[in-house]
């Protein structure tokens, strides 16, 4: 253990965006996160400047809509990594059992192993939990599935373990690398994985999954609907309940099959009619 470690604190003015930013950071960082009402703290023995830069880039792509203050500090080291890991426990979401590497797989469940450093990409977040629940009932063997904004790859992994042929993409290269490693960790294979979004997808899919945020879902509506085949399923998540109407409006041409809400987060399941 090194004598020093780095601590990056991000103060987010609007508390509604804390979990979204935490989800993003968890998917690109191999270190522990501490999450408060308006703060996210990342700690690592490695330089955290790339994490800060990645968040700044994300905010820029969203038009600077999220105000964040950043503070980087160097501190005396302690065994905070072990303390963080010990606080993460397995979780059941529908048919799936998501567990860190020091736990055993669970009989009778579809097991997905995700390292604890990726807690917000491991089913604990309300949107991931709801998506896993939907995937367990809507995805079937042999289907072609696209996971847009794949992050840790957990949703694509769930679809693959159900026998689907899975393709994944994310605009962040670190997330793409994290996804690849998690597929390897689970001895699972994907068909394609690329840095980018749904506009680069080839052909049509039986199921398209996009667990992002409302503003991005509105922005890429045409890409997502184009990628979904006729009578195919489109799973949208990462939607704060207060923004649900905005998303529903732009996807009004699809048939709403199912709505799930966990905490303040909404997941919508659509069927493409034509």
Annotated binding residues for S-adenosyl-L-methionine: 128, 149, 170, 211
Report d(CA 33, CA 9) in Å as an integer. Answer: 10
What element of type H or E holds 208?
Answer: strand 205-211
Binding-site residue positions: 128, 149, 170, 211
Tokens of 112: 């997905």
Tokens of 85: 């890991």
**Contact between 114 and 122 (Cβ < 8 Å):** yes
Backbone angles phi, psi at 264, to 5 degrees: -95, 10
Burial profile 21-48: b = 16 or more Cβ within 10 angstroms, e = fewer: bbbbbbbbbebbbebeeebbbbbbeeeb
β-bridge partners, 144: 165
Q: How many CB atoms lie within 10 A of CB 74?
A: 9
Backbone angles phi, psi at 38, to 5 degrees: -125, 5
Residues in the chain: 274
């Amino acid at each position: 253990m090194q004598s020093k470690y780095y601590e990056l604190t991000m103060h987010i003015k609007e508390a509604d965006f804390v979990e979204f930013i935490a989800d993003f950071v968890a998917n690109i960082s191999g270190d522990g996160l501490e999450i408060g009402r308006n703060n996210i703290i990342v700690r690592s023995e490695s330089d955290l400047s790339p994490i800060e830069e990645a968040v700044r880039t994300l905010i820029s792509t969203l038009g600077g809509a999220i105000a964040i203050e950043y503070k980087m500090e160097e501190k005396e080291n302690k065994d905070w990594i072990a303390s963080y890991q010990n606080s993460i426990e397995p979780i059941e979401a529908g048919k799936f059992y998501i567990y860190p590497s020091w736990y055993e797989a669970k009989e009778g469940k579809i097991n997905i192993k995700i390292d604890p450093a990726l807690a917000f990409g491991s089913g604990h977040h309300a949107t991931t939990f709801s998506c896993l629940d939907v995937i367990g009932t809507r995805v079937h063997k042999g289907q072609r599935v696209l996971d847009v904004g794949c992050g840790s790859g957990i949703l694509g992994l769930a679809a693959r373990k159900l026998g689907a042929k899975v393709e994944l993409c994310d605009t962040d290269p670190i997330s793409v690398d994290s996804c690849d490693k998690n597929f390897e960790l689970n001895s699972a294979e994907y068909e394609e994985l690329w840095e980018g979004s749904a506009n680069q997808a080839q052909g049509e899919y039986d199921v398209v999954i996009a667990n992002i945020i409302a503003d991005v879902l509105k922005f890429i509506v045409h890409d997502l609907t184009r990628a979904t085949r006729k009578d195919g399923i489109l799973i949208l998540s990462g939607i704060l309940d207060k923004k649900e109407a905005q998303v529903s409006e732009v996807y009004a041409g699809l048939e709403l099959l199912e709505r799930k809400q966990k905490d303040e987060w909404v997941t919508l399941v659509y069927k493409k009619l034509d």
